[in-house]
Structure 1
Amino acid sequence: MLQEIILAGFGGQGVMSMGQLLAYAGMFEDKHVSWIPSYGPEMRGGTANCAVTLSDSSISSPVISEPNTLIVLNRPSLDKFEKNLQPGGLLLMNSSLIDVSPQRQDIQVVRIPSDDLANEKFGNTRVANMIILGAYLELTQALSLESVEKALKKVLPEYRHSLIPLNRNALELGVSMVK
């Protein structure tokens, strides 16, 4: 198994948190992992992306130029990274904020209105990233939901652990969106 994932959006959407969750969950499942963040100069609202590699064997380079999975949470991220996705790759996109269709016809596209769902189901758009992450987990079977929930305890500061059930519910909603 080799998953090379680019996650992208704007600052404040939880892109880095998603990447960290995948990396920790991969470690919990004894996978080889890498996580490389990339930030724009702004604290919130600027560009943010990270590259995550999950593998059953050693990772020769953490740099990902042609991911097999792309998760984009806003339109500028789609515009920037769509061309790099491998043919046949998986594109998960937040259709609440992306009002265009991808240009490519040689990829699998899954549209999840994650901001709208987060607001409608939980009254909190801050878990939109967890919805789309749940969809990724179900579609790829790369990691278990349990490992990601365990990773939440590492990624979230202890004073935020009360939010773990909310995040778990958002992950499960994402899973149900693509079943």
Structure 2
Amino acid sequence: MTLSFVLAGFGGQGVMLMGQILAQAGMIEGKNVTWFPSYGPEMRGGTANCTVVISDEPVASPIVDTPDVVVAMNIPSLLKFEPRLKKGGFLFLNSSVIDRKASRNDIKVIEVPANEIAEKIGNLKVANMVVLGAIVAVTKCVKVESIVSALQYKLGEKGSSLLKLNLEAIEAGIRHVGG
């Protein structure tokens, strides 16, 4: 099985971290993975994005033209990447920020009010982890335990104080989609 992702949002919304954790979780499970960031003026508030491929087979290229999954954390990301999503693919929308519906009816749309859920938890910065929980619950791309291990690895000793908050956000995302 191979799943390809485009994760996109404003710089600072944590889409790169989401992608890194997904890729790390895939590696933990012994899968072949790629993580390919897109930097540039995006770091100053434009649309930042990264692609992730998680596969049981060798990955030929980190470039993804028609992803299986698109995560849009803002309207510019929705407008840019929804047209590229594979027919039957998953579109995750941060419905706290995106006030419109998807334009396609040949895809599965999962609306996640990530900012509201994160604020209830107590920190808006974990909105990305709310979405990550939803992604894992819906796509089954990796096990939740692998995401937890990847998050622990990524945060390291210095970020261990943030682990509980991030795990709470992931669990909230899983609950939101009924996982």
Fold conserved between structures, TM > 0.5:
yes
Q: Distance in 1 between matches of 2:84 and 2:24?
A: 25
Amino acid at match of 2:52: V
Deviations 1:19-72 (A, max 9, x none): 000110000000000000002315342221000000011111111000010011
Amino acid at match of 2:101: S
Percent identity over the alignment?
A: 50
Q: For 1:1-179, what aligned pairs fall within 5 Å after superposition?
A: 1-120=1-120, 122-179=121-178
Contact 1:39/1:47 (CA < 8 Å) preserved in 2? no
Q: TM-score, normalized by length of structure 1?
A: 0.96
Q: TM-score, normalized by length of structure 2?
A: 0.96
Q: Distance in 2 between matches of 1:113 and 1:79?
A: 18
| Between 37-46 and 51-60, the greater mean CA deviation after superposition | 37-46
C-alpha displacement of 1:157: 4.6
Q: Distance in 1 between matches of 2:38 and 2:134?
A: 23
| Between 154-163 and 44-53, the greater mean CA deviation after superposition | 154-163
Aligned residue pairs, count: 178
Q: Which runs of 5+ in 2 are unaligned?
A: none
Q: Distance in 2 between matches of 1:67 and 1:145?
A: 22
Contact 1:40/1:47 (CA < 8 Å) preserved in 2? no
C-alpha displacement of 1:142: 1.0
Runs of 4+ in 1 over 6 A off after TM superposition: none
CA RMSD of aligned residues (A): 1.1
